[in-house]
Chain A
Amino acid sequence: MGGKIRVLIAKPGLDGHDRGAKVIARALRDAGMEVIYTGLRQSPEDIVSAAIQEDVQFIGLSILSGAHGHIFPRVLELLKEQGASDIKLIAGGIIPDEEIPKWKAAGVAGIFGPGSSTGEIVDFIQAQSGA
């Protein structure tokens, strides 16, 4: 299609550690993508409505607080409700290894835990968007 890859990076939950989210935002920018950075303490409703308005292909969530058990299903559900399930959800932060298969089955497209390189994430997004 030749369109730009646009990615929304959000930091849901109550912890304030947004270093990781900022590093990812910068890496995606350097890979030529347009990154909408929405900052801290975003609710699933905020995230999905911003993703729709911004017409992104990906939502990237950074979650360190353990709140993913609540946030993943809610974001996926809202995307479905609003007919936007084509927007892919990816996540980074602290997500226990043993839970990863479960979340992937539920519809989270990619999960990148500690130790993932920014290059891996860039490659994943480019591959998924067919670029």
Chain B
Amino acid sequence: MLESQPQRGVARLLSWIEDEDPRAVEALQATWSRTGNAYVIGVTGPPGGGKSTLVDCLAVHAAAQGHVLGVLAVDPTSPFTGGAVLGDRLRMNDAQKRGIFIRSVATRGHLGGLTATTRYLVNALELLGCDLVFVETVGAGQGDVEVVRLADTTVVVEVPGLGDEVQAQKAGILEIGDLLLVNKSDRPGADRLAQELRSALDLGEQHDWQPPVLQVTAIEQAGIAETWEAIDAHRAHMEAGPLAADRLVRQMHELEQQLQQKLFRDRMVTIGDDALRSSAQQVLARKADPFTAIERLAN
């Protein structure tokens, strides 16, 4: 189906990847040499910050420049029912009308702003010929910084009215932005927020790339061209040097994570439930302390 109906084939492959269906592994193994061609732009920020609307504008803008692109839009899964209402697509009408491939993705219990398999979802989109993929995270909090492990350029979207300047000093998503956008800049407080973000960045360590702070109003298409120029400038900066090393570090991290999971699962099978239960009983009965019990199980 990948050959005869590429859109359907890739859409099905995306589902297999999400479902951890073994057919996903086979398909990715068979096509691996054809992947790796997309530049990944991550977009993150608080819920209701206008990320989807912004991605819609940027995607349409990029398509007009000749890019073939895809969009992955992540929304949270309910921890109670396992279900999800995925509403990002609702804000992406213009991109949809242009035929841009958009896929709504539920976190399925994964924390950190993305899903466990987002990397492979990007690879699947590359099979459609995408040279650019936008990944929109869930409405992110201060700790949801996983997107930097995936994206070549990370855009952090902030909006006025969420907090005072101390927020701008805190660690977390503000540190990961290659670009900081103040969206909804038609609202009061936007100029001040932009100013505060700039001073927070000035106080920090100076790098080769100083993240610009831009003001946009996505719903009115204001500031989109400037944002795209800034993304392009960051891309040029990355491609002139740090990108290859960056991707290597990220790939190492990725392999390490997956290896960890595999080793862990295999090891847990070897240890078995019975050994785990009897250790727990010993710890509870104070016949063993947890540290010794763990050493014993691990060896």
Contacts and interface: CB of A to CB of B under 8 A. Distances in A.
Interface string A39-77: 100000010011011110000000000000000000000
Nearest to B97: A46
Interface stretch (A21-29, A88-96, A107-115): A21-29
Given A30-B81, A52-B7, A55-B15, A36 B86 contact: yes
A55 B81 CA distance: 21
Interface in A5-49: 6, 25-26, 28-39, 46, 49
A114 B94 CA distance: 33
B126 to A, nearest CB: 15
A50 B89 contact: yes
B8 A49 contact: no
B103 A54 contact: yes
A58 to B, nearest CB: 14
Contacts of B101: 53
Given A38-B90, A52-B7, A55-B11, A32 B81 contact: yes
B15 to A, nearest CB: 5
Contacts of A80: none
A37 B85 contact: yes
Nearest to B102: A53
Given A34-B86, A34-B106, A37-B87, A2 B19 contact: yes
Nearest to B105: A34
B84 A34 contact: yes
B210 interface: no
5 contacts: A29-B85, A34-B104, A37-B87, A52-B7, A55-B12
Nearest to A37: B87
Contacts of A82: 5, 8
B8 A31 contact: no
Contacts of B18: 4
Contacts of A78: none
B83 A46 contact: no
Interface string B249-264: 0000000000000000
B84 A29 contact: yes
A1 B81 CA distance: 19
A35 B90 contact: no
Contacts of A33: 83
A42 B146 CA distance: 34
Contacts of B229: none
B81 A29 contact: yes
Interface of A: 1-4, 6, 25-26, 28-39, 46, 49-50, 52-55, 82-84
Contact of A84 (B8, B15, B86): B8
Q: Which 7 A-B residue pairs are closest in the complex by CB-CB distance?
A: A29-B83, A55-B11, A39-B90, A3-B19, A32-B82, A32-B83, A55-B15
B86 A35 contact: yes
Chain B CB within 10 Å, residue with most, of A29, A34, A82: A34
B14 interface: yes
Nearest to B13: A55
Contacts of A36: 86, 89, 104
Contacts of B87: 37
B290 interface: no
Given A82-B5, A82-B8, A37 B96 contact: no
Contacts of A30: 78, 81, 83
B99 interface: yes
Interface in B13-41: 14-16, 18-19, 21
A31 B11 contact: no
B85 A25 contact: yes
B18 to A, nearest CB: 7
Contact of B90 (A37, A52, A53): A37
A50 B82 CA distance: 22
B71 to A, nearest CB: 10
A34 B89 CA distance: 13
A3 B14 contact: no
B21 A3 contact: yes
